[in-house]
Structure formats: structure tokens, C-alpha cells
Amino acid sequence: MQKRLTRAEVPVEQTWNLADIFPTDEAWEKELVAVGNDIDTVTQYKGRLGEGASVLLACLNALEKLQERFFKVASYASLNQSADGTSAGNQAMAARAASLGAKLQAETSFIRSEILGLPAGTVEHYLAAEPGLSEYSRFLERVLAEKPHTLSPETEKVLAALSEVLDAPSMIYARSKSADMSFDSVKDAAGNELPMSFAVYEGHYERSADTVLRRNAWASFTKGLKAYQNTYAATWGTEVRKNVVMAKLRGYPSAIHMILDQQEVPVEVYHQLHDIILKELAPQMRRYVELRKKVLRLDKILYCDIEAPLDPDFNPPTTFEKAGDIIVKGLSVLGQDYADIIATGLKNRWIDWADNVGKSTGAFCNSVYGVHPYVLITWTNSLHDALTLAHELGHAGHGVLSQRHHLLLNSRTSMFFVEAPSTINSLLVADRILAETNDMRMRRWVIMQLLSIYYHNFVRHLIEGELQRRIYALAENGTPVTASLLSRVQGEILEEYWAGVVEIDDGARLTWMRQPHYYRGLYPYTYSAGLTIGTAMAQAIRQEGQPAVERWLTVLKAGGTKKPLELAQMAGVDLTKPQPIKDAVAYVGSLIDEVVRTF
């Protein structure tokens, strides 16, 4: 049986270069201590923010510099942990960074409290009197908006000091999944025994053309998840309860209202995305899955068969290097500067694409302020990986453009908008592949990859969002969050959505165990917002050309200086209205129509 590599055995060229943040662990250690010692560069202004605009500016400048340094410390630790969660050294490093973060939050919590304690109109007067504060106007706007839900300074400091404890559910889940969870090896149709892991299942086996391998891997995956169902229910239940209690303490109607307020998104927009996409896309997706059963001659469709390739003998391979060339060409439509950013990342080890024991599952991008973005992905030599990598490099391009033009405090956009710059990149790269082929089989394959993107963002992630919507409602009424409750509600949602087309087995009911997104507030539903915006912008670029490109680049450069709905409107997409959502759903339907016609 093929052996999975340890981190030490992975070729260095397949890993990211963390030396760009700190040359050595010793340098990281030195800065960790220095940041802790330098907190007084900010706390020296405690009790003084009422003295005048210049004092507030000096305090915010000191905070910005300290947070830049801490973000590097935290990112270095987090990225090491993601690369190998089995390492005791990496675990300790992450814990120490989290502890420093909690201390930093607690000691600097006075800034928000003192700003909110200033007499009405004082902040506005400060902004008029001190031009240097203009860079912090968005930050100050956000702080003032929190006033109705801010507790006493003492309470806010205590909550900040407890941030490491309050974030424990996420840490426990991530560490357990990367370091403790194991799966039985599996056999393919030829009887070959293959290694099994969380990352390999989701990155390869789930889309395998080998039905025997795919279903054997599903059985192994389900067995492995089941062993942790009560533990993961406890961690997620704690996360849910934390948010419910915090919302009550801060005077919000519900945890949903609190988290959406943090995202600066109206509750109506949140519900509209769920209701329209879940209802209107379901019949189209059922039709697509029924086609899969017919073409592949399956006895039934299990949850693990949803992404089985419709053309099993056609899976274009590619190398990491060739995929990089395809991505750069596809994104060149956004201009030379943008393409150069992506090319630089591909050539200079911004990307960790190896598969090794202990590596975090899935894919992500962490844009380290003052350095560059870092992307994690597990490469399987499929052209499908190129679209996934294009997605993560969309986050990277957004991070570079945003950080190039703004302070750290203004560079981060709302979670509601964050997936738009990534999902559009996958669509643009797919457009490029389509433009360069006359092979109808390749065209059909690319369209099916697009449908996979829409499945993940409009179905899988939005069903995760629907699970959150229902579980939070139950928790608000005092219902304990247990494994049996989560599996039951998960099963109900899947049965409603697939309406008998897909057999909802035990493994399907355990899909609530698969995503770390549940520990990041209401993250899952935001993928549907991002893809709706991305779909509209990709269409605008096809139709308008350069004017649409310029509009989009302006949005990317705006970073977090605007609310998410304002950013979408700058791009020409009004998500307060249902039409862009309905248009995106209709586009998915047209893709399914084309695939159906070819079989």
C-alpha cells in the first residue's frame, strides 16, 4: 500500500516558504516576546483618548503597528499548524500565539470603550480637526455602530482576555481532525489497497470514477467520523451556545442577528439567499443527479455519488506547473498587474500543495499583511485542481490589492463579500479553458467542473448554512445541541432538498462533522453571496470587457473600506434585490441543460 508522507519527507518545492515571515523559529520566538513587551506602546494612551484628536491618532497608529507585528506572529504559528497538526511543537506554537492574542485583545479593549465613552459628536470633531484620522474613519464608524451592544469597559476586557477560551471549540475541532482522526485503508475495483485520509477523501476519492473505491472510501470515511460524533457535537454545541449567550448579553434579538451585524448584512438579505437558492435550484440539481444515475448505471445514488464524474474515462490530468500557466492566462483578462501578482505567487512558494500526514484538509488563503498571501491546497494532478487553486489565488489577489492600498485595519472585507474575489477567478479560468478547445468532450468536462463549483457553493455550503439557521433557532429556545439532534436535522434538510433522488444514509447525516466553517460564525451561506456576485461580474466582463474589469479592480482595491453590500453595488450587483440571485440560478440551469443534451 502506498504510504502517505510525513511533513519532513515532502519535497521542499511543494511547500510554502514561511521564512518570508520569519527566517527561523527562533526569530519568531523573539518577536513573540517583543510584541508582548511592546503592548505598552498602546496602553500608554489608556484614559487619554478624550484629550484630543492628536492623542487618538497616536494611539491608533500604535495599535496598527502592533497589530501588524502580532498578525505575522499569529500567521506563522497558524500556518505551521496547518502544515502539520501532528507536531507537538506546532501545537505549542499555536497555543502561545493564541495566548498572546488574548492578552493583546484584553489590554487594548480600552480603545473601543473610551471611544464610545466620548461625548456625542466628539469623534466627528476629531475627524474634522485631524486629517491623519481620515485613514481610521471606517474603523471609527464600525466602533460607533457597536455602541448599542457594547458592555462595560471591565466586562469587555474580561471577554477579550477570555478569547482564547472562547475560541477553544474551533481549536479542538481543528486539532482533533488533523492530529487524531484516522481512517481504515480502502480498496479499489482492482483490489489495490490505498491509504485513506480526510484530505484524500475530499480531494480525490469523493470524485473518483471508480464506484467501488468511491463507496469503499465513503464507508471508511463514515466509520471514522462516527467515532468522533459526540465529541464534535459537544464542540459545535459549545460554539452555538457561546454565540446564543453572547447575543443575549449584548442585547441582540438572536445569535443570527449578532453575527450578521458583525458582517454588516441585513437579516432580510441572509434569508433571501437561503430561500431563493435552496428552493429554485433544487429541481435543477435533482435533474443533474438523476442524469448521473442513468449515465453511470448506478443501482442508486448515495450521497458519495453526487460528485462522481459523468464521463469516467475523461479526467484531464495536469501538473502543478502547467496548471499555473493556465491560471495566469485565464486571469490575464484582469490586467497585467493582477496576472503578475498571481504569477509571483506561483513561482515564489506562496503555495503549499503537498499531501502529508497532519496537513489541514480543504484549501484556504491567509494574506499576511506586510508579507504576502499563503495558499494551502492538496494537489491530485487533476485539471480540477487548477480551478480550486484559481479560487484560492482569488483570495490572494484580493489580499495583495487591498493591503497595497490600505492599513491593516481597513484591508479586511466583510465575510459576506470575501468569497466573491475567489469564485469569480474559477469562472474566468474555466472561460479560458473553454476558449482554447474545440473538443466537445473537453467543453462538457469544463461545464461539469463549473457545475461542481455551483454545487459546492450553492448547494453543499448553503445546506450547511441552512443547518446553522435551524440549529441556532433550536438553541435559542433552549434545545441542547447533541449528535443525535445534528444528525437528525442534517438528514431532514438533505431529504427535503433531494426529495428521494439521493439516498440519505448515515454518512450523509454526519456531514455536519466535515466543515470548520461552523466555527467562524455564519460563514457557509456567504459562499452563495460570493458566487452570486462572481457570476454577475464574470458575465459583465464577458459582455462589457474592460469597463467591467476596471470596475472589479476598483472593488478589489477598496478592501474593507466599504460595507459588503456597497462593494457589491460598486461592482453593479444589488443583493438587496432577488434578481441577481435568480439570474445566477438560471445560469446554473442553462449549464445543466447543455450537459443533459450531450448524453
- pLDDT tens digits, residue range 280-303? 999 999 999 999 999 999 999 999
Q: Which residue has the cell 439570474?
A: 583
Say what the pLDDT of residue 86 is. 92
User: CATH no. for residue 547?
Assistant: 1.10.1370.30
Say what the pLDDT of residue 436 is. 92
Question: Of 519, 536, 551, which residue constitutes the final position of a domain?
Answer: 519
pLDDT, tens only, 249-286: 999 999 999 999 999 999 999 999 999 999 999 999 99
Say what the pLDDT of residue 73 is. 98
188 located within any domain: no
Looking at the structure, do residues 33 and 88 belong to the same domain, yes or no?
A: yes
The 10 Å CB-count burial string (b at 16+, else e) for 520-558 is ebbbbbbbbbbbbbbbbbbebbeeeeeebbebbbebbeb
Q: Is the predicted pLDDT of residue 563 greater than 80, yes or no? A: yes
Question: Of 519, 534, 562, which residue constitutes the final position of a domain?
Answer: 519
DSSP state at residue 6? P
Looking at the structure, do residues 249 and 342 belong to the same domain, yes or no?
A: no
Q: Is the predicted pLDDT of residue 566 greater than 70, yes or no? A: yes
Looking at the structure, do residues 410 and 544 belong to the same domain, yes or no?
A: yes
Q: Is the predicted pLDDT of residue 553 greater than 90, yes or no? A: yes
202 located within any domain: yes
CA distance 73 to 22: 9
11 located within any domain: yes
Total domain count, the chain: 3
The answer to whether residues 163 and 102 touch, using CB atoms and an 8 Å cutoff, is: yes
The answer to whether residues 363 and 203 touch, using CB atoms and an 8 Å cutoff, is: no
Q: Is the predicted pLDDT of residue 61 greater than 80, yes or no? A: yes
Say what the pLDDT of residue 2 is. 66
Average pLDDT over residues 379-407: 95
CA distance 555 to 424: 13
Say what the pLDDT of residue 70 is. 98
Give whole-number Cα distances, 188 to 212, 215, 314, 344, in Å: 6, 9, 18, 39
pLDDT, tens only, 353-378: 999 999 988 899 999 999 999 999 99
Looking at the structure, do residues 331 and 260 belong to the same domain, yes or no?
A: no
Locate 562 and state its grid cell: 466599504
pLDDT, tens only, 433-448: 999 999 999 999 999 9
Average pLDDT over residues 144-163: 93
Q: Which residue has the cell 490586467?
A: 335
Radius of gyration of the chain measured on its C-alpha atoms:
24
Looking at the structure, do residues 223 and 309 belong to the same domain, yes or no?
A: yes
Lateral strand order in the sheet of 373-376: 351-352, 373-376, 364-367
2 located within any domain: no
Say what the pLDDT of residue 76 is. 98
Residue 1: pLDDT band by 50, 70, 90 thresholds?
low
DSSP assignment of 346-392: HHTT-EE----TTPPSS-EEEE-TTS-EEEE----SBHHHHHHHHHH
Say what the pLDDT of residue 363 is. 93
Looking at the structure, do residues 146 and 176 belong to the same domain, yes or no?
A: no
Looking at the structure, do residues 256 and 117 belong to the same domain, yes or no?
A: no
How much is the mean pLDDT over the chain? 96
In percent, how much of the chain has pLDDT > 70? 100
Distant-in-sequence, close-in-space partners of 175: CB < 8 Å, separation ≥ 6? 85, 91
222 located within any domain: yes
Looking at the structure, do residues 43 and 82 belong to the same domain, yes or no?
A: yes
CA distance 107 to 153: 11
Looking at the structure, do residues 146 and 54 belong to the same domain, yes or no?
A: yes
Residue 200: pLDDT band by 50, 70, 90 thresholds?
confident
pLDDT, tens only, 99-126: 999 999 999 999 999 999 999 999 999 9
* Residue range of the domain that includes 80: 7-166
Distant-in-sequence, close-in-space partners of 581: CB < 8 Å, separation ≥ 6? 272, 273, 276, 277, 532, 575
Specify the 3-state DSSP secondary structure of 569.
Answer: helix
pTM as predicted:
0.92
CA distance 306 to 290: 10
User: CATH no. for residue 248?
Assistant: 1.10.1370.20
User: CATH no. for residue 75?
Assistant: 1.20.140.70
Helix axes 483-498, 229-249, angle to 10 degrees: 90
Q: How many CB atoms lie within 10 A of CB 561?
A: 19
Looking at the structure, do residues 382 and 499 belong to the same domain, yes or no?
A: no
189 located within any domain: no
Higher model confidence: residue 177 or residue 503?
Answer: 503
334 located within any domain: yes
The answer to whether residues 98 and 167 touch, using CB atoms and an 8 Å cutoff, is: yes
Give whole-number Cα distances, 391 to 163, 342, 429, 493, 592, in Å: 31, 11, 9, 28, 22
Looking at the structure, do residues 351 and 219 belong to the same domain, yes or no?
A: no
1 located within any domain: no
The answer to whether residues 230 and 241 touch, using CB atoms and an 8 Å cutoff, is: no
Looking at the structure, do residues 89 and 148 belong to the same domain, yes or no?
A: yes
